[in-house]
Amino acid sequence: MAHIGYFGAGTWGVSLASILARNGHTVTMWTRNPAFAELLQTTRVHPKLPGCPLPASITFTSRLTQALDDAEVVVESVTSSGVRPLFQQLAATRVPIILTSKGIEQDSGLLLPEVVAQVVGHNLIGCLSGPSHAEEVIQGLPASVVCSGYDEGVILLTQELFTTPSFRIYPNGDVAGVAFGGAMKNVVAIACGISDGLGCGDNAKAVLMTRGLHEMRKLAPVKGCKAETLNGLSGMGDLCVTCLSKHSRNARFGRLLAEGLSAEAARQQIGMAVEGAYTCLSVYQLAKKHGIPVPITEATYSILYGGLSPKEAVQLLMQRTVKEEHL
């Protein structure tokens, strides 16, 4: 059995760490907040996952070196904006790295596996993605996700570490497609949340999900993705759960925006990272750089960063020139 150094103790992190521990591995889990590390170590329950006790073989710490000491594998679940700063501190590590965060770095346009490869200088990097809310995974409810990586051995390792009777993992060699789908679907989920908050109905949400997937497929070649990967668990699967689930932070964030809250006030009310708000700017930058129209993303960007009201955004989308549907 392996000793895992786990970085990031949010709800998703502790859910996956619980899988690792129940599979017989020991886990040392890092969070930068010493008080929060002490709380988790003492209570053995994440405050946002009440009623879900954490296995005794998980140790919590706020010391980075303690989590890294003797680690045979490194797993991360930090915010997407925190991935580069984290791995700048872990740059000397040469053990396999498994990424579970979903995002695209702002300004550089790099997918998170690309960010980590650039920082650590090796390709022993894998990622785990797909429709999998922490609130259900930690309870052992059935879920299927996909794993990928630059190295076949890391893909197999990810399957071996995380597979359980209720957590099924499909391998996929398209690391760019897996990472991209998991990132961009959060932007579409914000748009769906805005639509729900405005009372636009199920028909409108179906349009946003369908055309949002189309935007994902249009941008996929820019990052070297296989468009068909986006039809799978890390694309359409994750898009469905993030747009439709009561657990979705991104959709809830969109609903709060529609109610009139500012982006910052909405983030504070949610109390956790809203990855779609960060990634929206990254996707907007990529689309502009390559001259690819992505109207749903552009509307969401204009609400978040350009002062456009949600109602005005809906009006602009509905007034667009109708063209033949291309899939």
Positive/negative CA dihedral, 200, 204, 208, 209 = positive
| Short-list 171, 133, 132, CA closest to 151 | 171
| Average pLDDT over every residue of 289-308 | 96
Q: Do domains 3-175 and 183-318 have the same CATH topology?
A: no
Percent of the chain surpassing pLDDT 90: 94
DSSP per-residue codes, 91-106: TT--S-EEE----B-T
Sequence ranges of the domains in the chain: 3-175, 183-318
Strand order in the sheet with 26-30: 58-61, 26-30, 3-7, 73-76, 97-99, 125-129, 143-149, 167-171
* Whole-number Å distance between alpha carbons of 91 and 260: 42
| Short-list 30, 10, 27, CA closest to 138 | 10
Contact 192/80 with Cβ under 8 angstroms? no
Active site residues: 185
* CATH classification (class only), 183-318: mainly alpha
* Whole-number Å distance between alpha carbons of 193 and 185: 12
* Whole-number Å distance between alpha carbons of 172 and 170: 7
pLDDT one-digit tens code per residue, 144-178: 999 999 999 999 999 999 999 999 999 999 999 99
- Which has the minimum average pLDDT: 130-134, 156-160, 181-185, 323-327? 323-327
pLDDT one-digit tens code per residue, 52-63: 999 999 999 999
CATH number of this structure's domain 3-175: 3.40.50.720
pLDDT in the model for residue 172: 97
283 Cβ contact partners less than 8 Å away, ≥ 6 residues apart: 104, 183, 184, 187, 219, 294, 297, 301
pLDDT in the model for residue 327: 63
pTM of the model: 0.96
* Whole-number Å distance between alpha carbons of 294 and 153: 36
